[in-house]
Structure 1
Amino acid sequence: MSEPNYDAHPSLLRTRPFSTLITLLLIAGGLLVAVLGVQFIPPQFTGQFDSKMVQIAGIAVFAIATLKLLVSWVTTRSDRLVITDEELIWTHGLLSKQYTEIGMGSVRSVRVSQSLFQRIVNAGDVEIFTAGDDPELVVRGLPNPGRIRDLVNG
């Protein structure tokens, strides 16, 4: 196998920007509630909540949001695209792996799709077509999709 021209994992923030930001806000909010407890609640509602229950709720929100962020991060890190002069190699999976290898000679076309946010962060969804109307390979949230298109077509 020759030297890779491109080697990248999908980016968590580029793949799921709003979900990631909301999860980070939940982590910060849960930590804030866990530390401050009843002081975080407006004074008119203070008598209705037990201090320990508020802290436990904050810890629970923090733990669940942290777990969700960790799972999402591991999911994106378990995918990888490598492009060499001869082939594209897509690896998917953490415990059980799925490998897709496509020779450069069999690639018919490449489609790059970018939303407005993806254009801002230089990411995109890449579809590789070999034969037929359905794409052989679809990868979402890869950095530098224009470079991928140029490497495959060039």
Structure 2
Amino acid sequence: MFRNHPFGFILAVLLIPVAIGILILMWWYLKCRSTKLEFVGRDVVLERGLLSKNRTELSAESVRTVNVYQSLLDRMLGVGRLSIYTAGDEPEIEVLGIPRPHDFRDLIKQQQAAT
């Protein structure tokens, strides 16, 4: 959580004495824990949600473009935004604050090369 938004994290910690900080940190933690991006077989699977689930599956062969965006601070902290495109102009999967986004991009490229 700190690497994703360090200034927001520090602000939330400073607001703990007012009790708003605890609520912010709990909401943020649950939001982070309810998003999962993984490989299942040869598919890229994004699952979001804690009580109700939203699951998006893409075949690694259908991935056209993988875009990784990192600001200077993101690069220093090792996080970034990962966007996966298949056929259109809008990303099918977009995940913010993913640790080591280049490693996941490399995994997709390895899966594509294996076919």
Aligned residue type for 2:14? L
Per-residue CA deviation, residues 96-151 of structure 1 (Å, 9 max, x unaligned), is 00000111011011000001111011111000000011111110000111101111
Aligned residue type for 2:102? G
CA displacement at 1:18 relative to structure 2: 1.1
Structure showing the higher strand proportion among its residues: 2
Aligned residue type for 1:13? F
Partner SS for 2:7: helix
Q: With CA pairs under 8 Å and 6+ residues apart, which has the higher RCO, 1 or 2?
A: 1
Query: Could you state the TM-score of these two structures normalised by the residue count of structure 1?
Result: 0.68
In the alignment, which of 3, 7, 10 is matched to residue 21 of structure 1?
A: 10
Tell me if the contact between 1:23 and 1:69 (Cα under 8 Å) persists in the aligned partners. yes
Q: Distance in 2 between matches of 1:13 and 1:99?
A: 26
CA displacement at 1:85 relative to structure 2: 5.0
Percent of aligned positions that are identical: 41
Count of residues paired in the alignment: 110
The within-5 A match list for 1:43-82 is 61=18, 63-82=19-38
Structure 1: 5+ residue stretches without partners: 1-11, 31-60
Structure 2: 5+ residue stretches without partners: 111-115
Q: Distance in 2 between matches of 1:95 and 1:68?
A: 19
List structure 1 segments (4+ residues) > 4 angstroms apart after TM superposition.
Answer: none
Task: Please say if 1:109 is aligned against 2:65.
Answer: yes
